[in-house]
Amino acid sequence: MGTIIPAPDALIGRRFDVAVAKMMGISRAKAADLIETGQATIVGRTPSKSDTLQLGDLVEITLEEREERPEPVATDMAIAYEDDDVVIVDKPVGVAAHASVGWTGPTVLGSLLDRGVHITSLGAPGRQGIVSRLDVGTSGLMLVCKSDLAYTEMRRQFAEHEVVKTYHALAQGNLKENKATIDAPIGRAKVSDFRFCVTPAGKDAVTHWDVMERFGEATLASVNLETGRTHQIRVHFSSIGHPLVGDAMYGANPRLSEELGLERQWLHAMQLEFRHPRTHVTTVVTSHYPADLQHALDMMRAHHADRSTPSTPQ
C-alpha cells in the first residue's frame, strides 16, 4: 500500500492530473505519467487523468522503484556544423530534442553526450545547451550550445527572433498566393493534450511562406517563422485549409499520405542563419531532404508530370 492523502478542499473539482501535480509539487506531465502507470490513483476507483477530484476522495500514491535503462542513441544523426561554441545537428525523424516524461526513444542531447561532445551546463537539467527545439516528427537542423558564451548569446538571439529559421513544407492543395503571411495566435486545443489550434486566447504566432513549386494536389513552400510556437507551421497551414501532406493529426488526406509512402508530416528544418556568438560573423548552415521526404517529393513531381503531359491522339 502506498501513501493515502485525503483530497484537499482547495483541489476539489480540479482535474486529477492537476490535483496530483499540486499535491506532489511536480509537473502536470509527470503527474499524468504516475496516473497512467497506476502509481497515483483514488481509493475505490481507477480515475483517468481528466477525471475530477471529488469531496471525500482518498488519493493513493505508490511510487515504484524503476530500473534505470540507458537511453537509446541516434547513431544516424549527422552533424551539419560544429566548432568550440555550437554544434548543429541534422535531426532525423523519431528523435526528440531532450528527455521528457513518457519518451523512451533517442534524444539529440543524449546522443551528443554519448558521442563525447562537450555541452554547456547552462540550462534546465536534462535540457542543458538547448535554446531551440524541433518536434520528434520533424526532421532538420537544430542548434545546441557547447560553451556558456554561446548559450547566453544564442538564447538571446532565438528569444529576440534574430535567427532566421527556414523550413520547407509540402502543403496539401494549391495555395492561392505565391507569397503570404499567416498571423494568428496559437494555443492548446481543448480536445487533446497533444494538439494545438488557432485561438484568440493563444500566443502570438507569425508564419511567412513563399511558393517554391506547385503540383496542383500539393504545394512546396519555403517557410520562415517570426515566432516558435509548438506545431506552428502545422497548425497555421491547417488553419487555412492546407494541412501539411502526411500530417494526420491536423487533417491531412490519408490516401495521399499512403500513395506517397509518408508516415509523418512533410516538414523539414532546411536552413539556419545566425550571427556566430563569438565572432559575430553571419553563419548559414543548410540541410538536405531525408530519404522519406525526397521520395514523396519525387513521386509528387512524377504524378504532376503525368497529369500535365497531353495524351497523344490515336
For the chain, the distance separating the N- and C-terminal CA atoms, rounded to the nearest angstrom, is 82
The set of cell numbers assigned to 203 is 500566443
Whether 204 is catalytic is: no
Tell me the one-letter amino acid at 240: I
H or E element: which one contains 4? strand 3-6
Which of the residues 33, 135, 247, 292 is marked catalytic? 135
Q: List b or e across 183-206, with b for residues whose CB sees 16 or more CB atoms inside 10 angstroms.
A: ebbbbbbeeeeebbbbeeebeebb
206-214 and 218-225 beta bridge pairing: antiparallel
What beta strand segments (E) does 173-291 contain? 179-183, 186-188, 196-198, 206-214, 218-225, 267-275, 282-286
**Best CA proximity match to 107, nearest among 119, 28, 271:** 119
Could you count the other beta carbons within 10 Å of the beta carbon of residue 145?
A: 24
CA distance 262 to 247: 9
Q: Which long-range contacts (CB under 8 A, 24 or more apart) does 243-252 make?
A: 243/171, 243/172, 244/169, 244/170, 244/171, 244/172, 245/170, 245/171, 245/172, 245/218, 245/296, 245/300, 246/170, 246/296, 249/194, 249/195, 250/195, 252/172
Known catalytic residues are 135
